[in-house]
Amino acid sequence: MRIEINSVNKSFAGKTLEISGWVDALRDHGGVVFADLRNRSGKIQIVFDVTKKGADFAKNVSMLRVEFVIKVKGKVLERPKDSVNKKLATGEVELWVEEFEVLNTCEPLPFYPGEKVSEEVRLKYRFLDLRGAGMLKNLVSMDRIMKITRDYFSGCGFIEVVTPILTKSTPEGARDYLVPSRMQRGAFFALPQSPQLFKQILMAAGLEKYYQIAKCFRDEDLRADRQPEFLQIDMEMSFTARDEIMETSRALVEKIFEEFGIKLPAVVSLKYDESMKKFGSDKPDLRVEISTLEDITEVFRDSPFNVFRSEVQAGNKIVAFFAAREFSRGELDDLTLDAKALGAGGLVWIKKDGDDLKSPVLKLFGEKEINKIKELFNFASGMIFASTSKKAFEMMGALRMSIAKNFKLMKDGFYPVWVVDAPLFIKNEEGGLESVHHPFTAPVGDIFSENPLKMESLSYDFVINGEELGGGSVRIHQAEVQKKIFEILGIPEDEYNEKFGFLLKALSYGCPPHGGFAFGLERLAVKILGLDSIRDVIAFPKTQNAECPLSSAPAAVSPAQLRDLGIKIVGVRS
């Protein structure tokens, strides 16, 4: 029977055990060689007394190297009190080796497991990198999150259903990964960006409560929180209201955090418009210890301060916030450059000490503006920052976050927020409309009679510390409403029937009201574990160029394979 290393303690003293693992370290003390033996279950000190085992034993011990795989058999003894290692679970005992077998040797290492090296080297030798305690812990944590998720949904009456990986290309925002069909030449499968359409069809099929830990694929430019393939905790419910879906989702997140020893505070709920006006973002970070944004446009509409007055007359907003901190002149100059880099013409700062205001531009203000600023920013002392641009809220929100991070004006902890009622549509650069969430999101109101640009959606995004961990919405469950949405988006009837005809058909055959939610599993894990990149919770991630250094994927294929698919390579990107 396999022995879990970390279970070996003083109660095993005098017993003979057989343990296999990797040589983690070697220390030759002249006649007695100490080593650490490591496997997934822990680490234990083993001792080779070469003075008592003969020349062959001594020779074999001398050939051992770090990361050799060995099997040892020996007696467990208590360590002398002065050599107890309190950092190890097995630190009170050691195993004196009577016999051992080398199961495999190891070539000279490019790095030791757990050693800090470049990410490129780590990914090339991922099998070594994963042996490190940190990466092992991360993968175990991912497994734990998936088990918690499955247990939770099962307890709530949900059914896990696996949806197709080979499916149809549909416009969902990012590029699809395409798979050519050998049987249907000239036709392509697409790898799913999400199970969105299939889970809605499952609701039409009467499952009522579905969930899945789904593999998703998106061909997009990568960054720390993006990968071409990722896992999504996906769920959908029928005969329900938005509040029930949100509560079901919130309870899962809270349970996962609690299992990792983190107690989340109550979730704050913000309307999308409120979030944009207070934080300049639809991903608010409640850790920031700087006042929320204040719209001071009307204060300067008729102001003698021409810079702000002319911006107001041009239709731009004047936005300000207060930071309870002193800033040096050099720091203020740097912040002005930051504001300009974000799109502002400049930055107005006002030092506040009680009722006393100081600023180079204060002499250009009228008494009305000065009194109103004192009223709006009724804080003891610190600095008021104000500026304007065509996107003043977003710009000042970004500057506020930058100040909070750079000057450590952020409290510790996790602060969850629901951001609800996002606009149904926004205008794109071409002047047309596009969905803020996706085109299957239900509108608030009557899509047939109201102005689409003024309509909100029955959407909800879950944000923690300025990062969106997941999102969802009540879905459109009536075919005529879905068709109207496609028409507003400028999708011709023949195109939406070709792309989404199977969904429209399902909606036409008694589909119940339904809605759902999806979390990025890796993003959730990264947040809980305090990591910087989702690559650290994925066993075999891709680089920012969407390459796998370990397997050298993607790679060219043989001419024969291309002929089978009816494909000819006409150009190679350099």
d(CA 125, CA 328): 47
d(CA 285, CA 289): 10
SS3 19: strand
Residue range 3-30: mean pLDDT, rounded: 95
Q: Which of 469, 466, 419 is nearest to 230 (CA)?
A: 469
pLDDT higher than threshold 90 for residue 220: no
Average pLDDT score over the chain = 94
Q: Kind and range of the H or E element at 416? A: strand 416-420
| Class level of CATH domain 288-410 | alpha beta
Q: Which residues, in sequence order, are CB contacts of 509 under 8 Å at separation 6+? A: 204
Q: Which two tokens stand for residue 391?
A: 């996107």
Q: Which residues pair with 475 in a beta bridge?
A: 441
Q: Indicate the pLDDT class of residue 257, thresholds 50, 70 and 90.
A: very high
Amino acid symbol at 82: D
How far is CA 225 from its chain centroid?
5
Q: Indicate the pLDDT class of residue 224, thresholds 50, 70 and 90.
A: low
SS3 241: coil
Share of the chain above pLDDT 90, in %: 89
> How many beta carbons lie within 10 A of that of residue 289, not counting itself?
14
Rg of the chain over Cα atoms, rounded to whole angstroms, equals 31
Question: CB of 264 within 8 A of CB of 291?
Answer: no
pLDDT higher than threshold 80 for residue 223: no
Question: CB of 20 within 8 A of CB of 70?
Answer: yes
Q: Which of 56, 53, 63 is nearest to 31 (CA)?
A: 53
State the maximum Cα–Cα separation within the chain, in Å, rounded to a whole number.
98
Sheet containing 416-420: which strands, arranged edge to edge?
159-160, 209-217, 229-238, 514-520, 467-474, 459-464, 416-420, 268-271
Q: What pLDDT score does 355 carry?
A: 82
d(CA 37, CA 390): 63
Residue range 520-536: mean pLDDT, rounded: 95
The per-residue pLDDT for range 395-436, each reduced to its tens digit, is 999 999 999 999 999 999 999 999 999 999 999 888 889 999
The per-residue pLDDT for range 58-111, each reduced to its tens digit, is 999 999 999 999 999 999 999 999 999 999 999 999 999 999 999 999 999 999
Tell me the angle at which helices 133-155 and 521-529 cross, rounded to the nearest 10 degrees: 120
The terminus-to-terminus CA distance of the chain in angstroms comes to 55
> How many beta carbons lie within 10 A of that of residue 388, not counting itself?
29
| Class level of CATH domain 5-104 | mainly beta
Residues of the chain with CATH 2.40.50.140: 5-104
Q: How far is residue 523 from each of residues 377, 383, 467, 528, 542, measured CA to CA in Å? A: 37, 35, 9, 9, 16
> In a 10 Å sphere around its CB, with 0-12 CB exposed, 13-18 middle and 19+ buried, how is residue 298 labelled?
exposed
The per-residue pLDDT for range 105-136, each reduced to its tens digit, is 999 999 999 999 999 999 999 999 999 999 99
CA torsion 361-362-368-372 (nearest 10°) is: 100
Question: CB of 64 within 8 A of CB of 102?
Answer: yes
Q: What pLDDT score does 573 carry?
A: 60
Q: Can you tell me which residue has the tokens 């002065």?
A: 82
Share of the chain above pLDDT 70, in %: 99
> In a 10 Å sphere around its CB, with 0-12 CB exposed, 13-18 middle and 19+ buried, how is residue 328 labelled?
exposed
Q: What pLDDT score does 53 carry?
A: 87
Question: CB of 198 within 8 A of CB of 164?
Answer: yes
The per-residue pLDDT for range 429-455, each reduced to its tens digit, is 888 899 999 999 999 999 999 999 999
Q: Which residues, in sequence order, are CB contacts of 388 under 8 Å at separation 6+? A: 308, 311, 316, 317, 318, 319, 344, 345
